[in-house]
Amino acid sequence: MRNLRIIAAIALLGGSFSITACNPKIDKGVRVDCSAFAFTTETDAFWTDEAHRTCGYQDAEGMLHISSETMKLFPSNFFEYDYGGWGQKGLSCQSLRLSDGTGGFSYIAPDGRARIFDYPYDNHCQPFRNGVAISYVDGKAIFFDKNLEVVKSTPYALADSFYKDFARVCSVSPEKKYDIHGEHSRWVGGTCGYIDTDFKVVVPIETPYEETERLAGSKYVD
């Protein structure tokens, strides 16, 4: 009863209350830093105030929740840019920075939900392959659909996008090696293999990333 009175009091004051955002079992305590958003000149000034820099949180399932106030500040054509086919799925891609020091390019839905992809593709989010994209929760790869819902949680430390019906996965993550200019990189080492679109292992997970040989298969489906 006391909690109901508190919620009612907040509503009378014109505020909002989210049980999800305040539940320590769900809220990981990680916040989205709005100062990383590339807004227009008119809205940039809004985020110079420290009080406005936190605009969302991450829940225990790795989903980001960006505030409705923030979503209203996005340009009207925010979901029209379609570099990687995200617009066809009702999503957009934006670089996000989190309060725990992590971040990266993220798929964002119009309702403010978002998922980060840790390894960018040509300075953007990875395109969806075979209907799924990849994010990481507590260091393990998950495959999710266009609704940002988890299709498969995995034990893998690294997963590539599907290509020709197969995706390379690693139980032990390889190391990223950069060229002498620091511009291009490649994965080396780790313990890797391949899975099919049913997420079943088809090439044993036992070889370094660069030595893992894939099977032949049909072309991926966007």
* Alpha carbons 65 and 105: distance in angstroms, whole number: 15
| pLDDT at 159 (0 to 100) | 95
- Domain assignment present for 7: no
136 and 72 part of one domain = yes
- Domain assignment present for 158: yes
- Structure confidence by residue, pLDDT tens digits, 76-122: 666 665 555 556 677 888 878 888 878 888 889 989 999 987 665 45
CB 125 within 8 A of CB 216: no
179 and 202 part of one domain = yes
158 and 118 part of one domain = no
Q: Is 123 helix (H, G, I), strand (E, B) or coil?
A: coil
* Alpha carbons 166 and 5: distance in angstroms, whole number: 54
Q: What is the pTM of this model?
A: 0.75
**What is the gyration radius of the CA atoms in the chain, in angstroms?**
20
The end-to-end CA distance of the chain, in Å, is: 50
Domain residues for 90? 24-146
- Domain assignment present for 78: yes
Out of 112, 146, 180, pick the residue that ends a domain: 146
84 and 189 part of one domain = no
Greatest extent of the chain over all pairs of C-alpha atoms, in Å: 64
CB 94 within 8 A of CB 87: no
CB 116 within 8 A of CB 124: no
| pLDDT at 24 (0 to 100) | 35
Q: Residue written as tokens 């670089």? A: 95
For the chain, what is the domain count? 2
80 and 30 part of one domain = yes
- Domain assignment present for 97: yes
177 and 135 part of one domain = no
Q: Which residues of the chain have pLDDT under 50?
A: 1-25, 40-42, 121
| pLDDT at 182 (0 to 100) | 61
| pLDDT at 33 (0 to 100) | 78
| pLDDT at 122 (0 to 100) | 55
103 and 73 part of one domain = yes
